[in-house]
Amino acid sequence: MSQSEDSSFARPFADTFVGSTVAGNYLIEGILGEGGMAVVYKAKQVSTQRHVAIKTLKTQEQVISQRFAREMKTHAKLHHKNIVEAIDCFETTEGAYFVMELLNGVSLFDRLKSVGRIESAEDIYAIVAQILAALEHAHQFQIVHRDLKAPNIVLLNTANDSVHVKVLDFGIAKVQDDMQRLTGQGQALGSPLYMSPEQCMGHDVSNRSDLYTLGILGYELITGDLPYAYPRLAQVMAAHCDPNKRPKPISESRPDLGNVETLNQIIMKAIETEPDKRFQSASEFHLALDHWIQTVRNGTNIPLPRAILQSVTSTAKKELRSKPSQRTTSQALTQKGNNRSSKGQVDQETAVKNFLLGLAVCCVIITTAGLAFAFRENIKDAFINISITVSSVLSPVKPADEGLADHSKQETPAPDPNTNKRRPGERRETRNGNHTYRVF
């Protein structure tokens, strides 16, 4: 449904706000840019007299405006030198407004359109590395951009001609999705030329989706072309989802770049179809990029270490185990129902096992106690014998006469009750001080 078909949904004229004051503090001076769903105004903040940019949606639908306000408040949590600064966010009867710093620069889209690809290896590194720094900061807050593309990257003008990047529109893609559902406009969330496979298929996205999109964007700024260039967007999205589709190697377009084979490895890993084969975090991507630029500066062609190429973080492994990809809602509900239905049976089986185990333990205790009582005399004799053995080891028996023969293996005759004299082979114990001697 086009805007002209539903004038109640869209604001008819974006320039009607020019010259007016919004929220009593922002004087609208002109239009900076306009897209299919939003307008960005240049305004002066009356309280500080500084110029700012104000973004507002082209709809007055309350649900969408409230969603926009929530997402912009989430964006306001991000404070990073490579993310556009959030100044204010407020709602009026006419909609929600997001106030941000006014950037003095040019979008990467306009830069690529007017000049072409980024030639310098140092500039390529600076742009991609700063975008990664912004993503790394946002991902720490569980904020996924969802719509990285060249128009959302601004290259600021600096005094020393160094590259300074600002990333725009964190969270705006969620609002765009709401607008598409209400109006029927658009086919999928995000920009199809840059979308990750999971976005194309309507699956849940994670930080790895942003890394895929950055890989596509990196390919574009390095070569000047998108990796999948087809006349129809459906063909582009199909290519994103096909693991057998691989773009032309960067080395064929940019043989002039230092260690271009390693750079090609990095970009191709970032745009793997399966999320678990990509870099698992912005920091891993950044580490690989640092390795490449160091080899360029040193004039070497050292490939990426195997540890970087095969890296899968423990967090990603846990996520893959706990959240299987391509799992439908119906499958999840069915599994949940099966779990509930079998829970009672599992609990009952566990209770029976515990009862039988306890009964067995009681039987063992009772049996042991009975045996101990029945054979208490034998146990007593056993302990006495053990004590005698230990005593003989610790205090060995010494013969009274060293020249006396050993008769220990001979049969000992019975003692004569009528005499106190010792018969040959008769054993008699005598004490000498603290020692006991067995005399034969």
Residue 344 lies in a domain: no
pLDDT at position 4 is 35
Whether 154 and 297 share a structural domain: yes
Whether 145 and 246 share a structural domain: yes
What domain range is 368 assigned to?
A: 353-392
Residue 5 lies in a domain: no
DSSP string, 294-319: HHHHHT--PPPPHHHHT---HHHHHH
pLDDT at position 189 is 46
Whether 191 and 306 share a structural domain: yes
Residue 342 lies in a domain: no
Residue 338, classified by CB atoms within 10 Å of its CB into exposed (0-12), middle (13-18) or buried (19+), is exposed
Residues β-bridged to residue 431: 436
Q: Where do we find the tokens 């129902």?
A: 337
Whether 403 and 386 share a structural domain: no
Whether 210 and 144 share a structural domain: yes
Q: What residues contact residue 202 under an 8 Å CB cut-off, 6+ apart?
A: 188
Whether 229 and 310 share a structural domain: yes
Q: Which DSSP state fits 151? A: G
Low-confidence ranges of the chain (pLDDT < 50): 1-13, 182-189, 312-338, 340-343, 346, 400-412, 419, 426, 436-440
pLDDT at position 176 is 57
SS3 376: helix
Residue 346 lies in a domain: no
Rounded distance between C-alpha atoms, residue 122 and residue 223, angstroms? 15
* pLDDT tens per residue across span 202-235: 888 889 999 999 999 999 999 999 999 888 989 9
Q: For residue 73, what is the enclosing H or E element?
A: helix 62-75
Count other C-beta atoms under 10 Å from residue 22's C-beta: 19
Residue 365, classified by CB atoms within 10 Å of its CB into exposed (0-12), middle (13-18) or buried (19+), is exposed
Tokens of 405: 């023969």
pLDDT at position 45 is 95
The residues assigned a catalytic role are 147
Whether 312 and 374 share a structural domain: no
Whether 71 and 168 share a structural domain: no
Residue 213 lies in a domain: yes
Boundary of a domain, candidates 335, 363, 379:
335
241 closest CA partner among 285, 272, 207, 286: 272
pLDDT at position 198 is 93
Whether 322 and 371 share a structural domain: no
The CATH number given to whatever domain includes residue 42 is 3.30.200.20
Residue 113 lies in a domain: yes
Rounded distance between C-alpha atoms, residue 369 and residue 349, angstroms? 31
Q: Which DSSP state fits 160? A: T
Residue 345 lies in a domain: no
Whether 203 and 311 share a structural domain: yes
pLDDT at position 413 is 53
Q: Where do we find the tokens 């020249």?
A: 403
Whether 130 and 244 share a structural domain: yes
pLDDT at position 169 is 85
Boundary of a domain, candidates 82, 102, 122:
102
Domain count, the chain: 4
Whether 115 and 231 share a structural domain: yes
Residue 1 lies in a domain: no
The answer to whether residues 194 and 149 touch, using CB atoms and an 8 Å cutoff, is yes
pTM of the complete model: 0.66
